[in-house]
A and B are shown apart, each in its own frame.
Chain A
Amino acid sequence: MKEKIRIASGQGFWGDLIDAPYNQVFRGHIDYLVMDYLAEVTMSILQKQKNKNPDLGYARDIPELMKRILPECKNRNIKIITNGGGVNPISCAKAITEVAKHLDVKDLKVAVILGDDIKDRIDEIISSGCSLNNMETGESIEIVKDKILSANVYFGAFPIVEALKQNADIVITGRTTDTGLTLAPMIYEFGWNKSDYDLLAAGTVAGHILECGAQASGGNFLGDWKSVPNIYDIGFPIAEAYPNGEVVITKHENTGGKVSFETLSEQLLYEIGDPKNYITPDCIADFTSIKLEDLGNDRVRVYDVKGLPETEFYKVSCSYSDGFSSSATLTYSWPEALTKAKEADKILRKRLENLILKFDEIRTEFVGYNACHGPLAKQIDEDDINEIVLRIAVRSRDYNSVERFGKEIAPLILTGPPSVTGFAGGRPKPSEVVVYWPALIPKNLVQHQVKIFEV
C-alpha cells in the first residue's frame, strides 16, 4: 500500500482555467488528476449537442487537454479521473484513444462508466414503482415527463474504483458526484471498504474541498482577499491523502494563491445544507466533525471526520425545457443616471403592455446600484452616481413575446431618455429555460457498467 497519494484538482467547472490541469501535471508531483466538468445545467446542454450530433455530448476540452498532458501522465503514471464524459462518455473515450494513437502513447487503458443515463428508461422505472416525483416539491413527474431533456443518476466513487482495479489509466464518467472523483483513488489505493464510513466521509470532505478548483486555494475568497499572493498564477488545490483518512490540502510550490484555515473553511461551507447530513451515494459525511489544523506554508491538515452509512437511494437529476428568457442592458451616464434608467424602464414596460405580450416575469435591475443586494443596497446621492446599467430580463412560455422584447431595446436609444449607450451586440435572442428536476431512485434499479478501451 502506498504511504500517501497526491490528488490534484484540475478543473472546478467546465470553462475554468484551461491551463490549470496542465500546471497540476507539470509543476510538481501528483498521482491523480481529477476534473469536475458538470453543473446541473451542463447535462442538458450536452444532451442538446448529442441530439444534433451523436458523436458529441461530452466536454470537448478534454481531447485538447490530452494532447498536452497524455504522454507526461503515462510516463509518470499519473491517473486521470473526470466526469467530463457528460451524456456521451464513450465518444469522449474514443476521442482520447485517437489522441493517444496520434501521439504514439502505448498500453493505455481508458475506462468508461455507464448506466447513469436513465433518460430512455423513465417509463420502465416509473412502472417498477419508483415515482421519480420532485423530491423538493413533491410534484408528479407526469407534468413534465414529455419535456424531459436529460435524466441522470449521480453515481459515487465505487464504479470508478472498479475501473481503477482494472488498471485504467484514465476514467471517464457521466454524472458522478464531484466528491466521488477524489474519494475513488483513496478507496482504491488504501483498500477502504464500503462500511468504512469515517474513511469514506474523510475522502468525501477532501472531494468537496477539491471540487470547485481554486475556490479552495484563494479564489473567490471573501476573507482578507487582498492578502492572497500572486493570484494571477493561482495554484489549484491538491489533497495529500493518507491511509488513516487524514488529508493535507496544499498546492504546488511556487504557485500563487493561498491554502489556509480561512480559505478552506469558506469552501467547506459552499453549497451545503444541513452540515451533519452531507449525503452522497457513498456515505453521509458530518461536516461538524471536521477538524482543520493550519500547518503554515499553504498546508492544512483535515482530520477526525466522522461518517454514517449511505442511504438506499441515488439522487436523480432530470432537466426539462420550460419556456424562454432574454435579458438586455443599456447604460445611462451622469447627470441623473439612475432617474434616466428608471424612466427608460417605465417607457419599455408601457410599450410591452401596449403590445399585449405575455410574460411570466419582467425583472428590472440597476447595475451599479442595486442588482446584487436589492433592498439592502445603500442609498446614494444621485449626483454621486457616474453611470448606471439598466438591466431588464423577461421570461415567458410564449417565444414570440420574448423575441419581440428583444426588438424593443435598441429603439429606446433614440426614443427615450438621453446620454445612453452600450447597445452594440445586436438584438438579444430568446434562450431556452431549462428547469432542474431532482428525484430519488432506489439503488437496486440502476446498474453501472465499466467498459475499457485499450490503445
Chain B
Amino acid sequence: MKRIKLIYIAHGRSGDKGDAANIGIIAYDNHGYEIISKYLTAETVKKHFEGICFGKVERYELPNLRALNFVLHNTLGGGGTVSLKLDAQGKTLAAALLRLELEIE
C-alpha cells in the first residue's frame, strides 16, 4: 500500500448544474488514468466530500481524455442565486478533490 495525492497525477475543472456540482478530473498520463480509473470511485469521492455533498455522486469514464466526470448532487446550497455560499457555483471543488490521498496497491 502506498498513498498518492491526486494533485500530483491529475488536474481538473468544476462547475455548477443547478444544485449539483460537476468535477472533471484528468490524469496527466496513461499511468495516472489507470490509477484514477481503479481507485477514484464514486464512494471515495462521496466520502471525501462529507459535509459538502449531501446527495448521490455519479461517476462517468472518459478514457479518450484520460478523465473521469463526477456529478455531486445536493452540493451547492440550492445553487444559482438561492445559494448563500461564497462558492455558489462550485468553482473551487475540483481543487478540493485534488486534496484527496488515494491508497493504492
Tell whether A and B belong to one assembly: yes
Asked if A271 and B92 sit within 8 Å, CB to CB, the answer is: no
CB distance from A217 to the nearest CB of B (A): 14
| Residues of chain A lying within 8 A (CB to CB) of residue B104 | none
Query: How big is the A interface, by class?
Result: 35 or more
The answer to whether A357 has its CB under 8 Å from any CB of chain B is no
CB neighbours of B43 from chain A (8 A): none
A376 lies within 8 A of B69 (CB): no
Chain B interface, number of residues (Cβ within 8 angstroms): 43
Q: Is the Cβ of A273 less than 8 Å from the Cβ of B81? A: no
Is A290 touching B64 in the complex (CB atoms < 8 A)? yes
Interchain CB contact under 8 A, A272 and B11: no
The yes or no answer to A165 lying at the interface (CB within 8 A) is no
Q: Is B13 an interface residue (CB 8 A)?
A: yes
Is A269 located at the chain interface by the 8 A CB criterion? yes
| B15 and A271 contacting across the interface, CB-CB below 8 Å | yes
Chain A positions within 8 Å of B85 at CB level: 363, 365, 393
A264 vs B28: C-alpha distance when bound (angstroms): 13
Contact B17 A435 (CB under 8 A): no
- Those of A236-275 within 8 Å (CB) of chain B: 262, 265-275
In the bound complex, CA of A445 to CA of B66 (Å): 41
C-beta contact mask, B70-95 vs A, less than 8 Å → 1, else 0? 01000001011110111100011011
A436 to B17, CA, bound (A): 11
A287 to B22 alpha-carbon distance, docked (Å): 15
Q: Please provide the chain B residues from 89 to 105 with a CB less than 8 Å away from any CB of chain A in the complex.
A: 91-92, 94-96, 98-99
Q: Would you call B81 and A394 a contact (CB within 8 A)?
A: no
> Are B82 and A287 in contact, CB atoms less than 8 angstroms apart?
no
Inter-chain contact A266/B86, CB cutoff 8 Å: no
Please name 29 pairs of A and B residues whose Cβ atoms are closer than 8 Å in the assembled complex, sorted by A.
A41-B81, A220-B13, A222-B95, A262-B26, A262-B28, A266-B24, A269-B12, A269-B69, A271-B15, A271-B17, A271-B22, A276-B60, A363-B84, A363-B85, A365-B85, A371-B86, A371-B87, A372-B86, A372-B92, A372-B95, A372-B96, A373-B92, A375-B52, A376-B49, A376-B52, A376-B99, A394-B84, A434-B81, A435-B80
Interface residues of A (CB under 8 A from B): 40-41, 136, 220, 222-224, 262, 265-276, 287-292, 322, 325, 327, 361, 363, 365, 367, 371-376, 391, 393-395, 431-436, 438
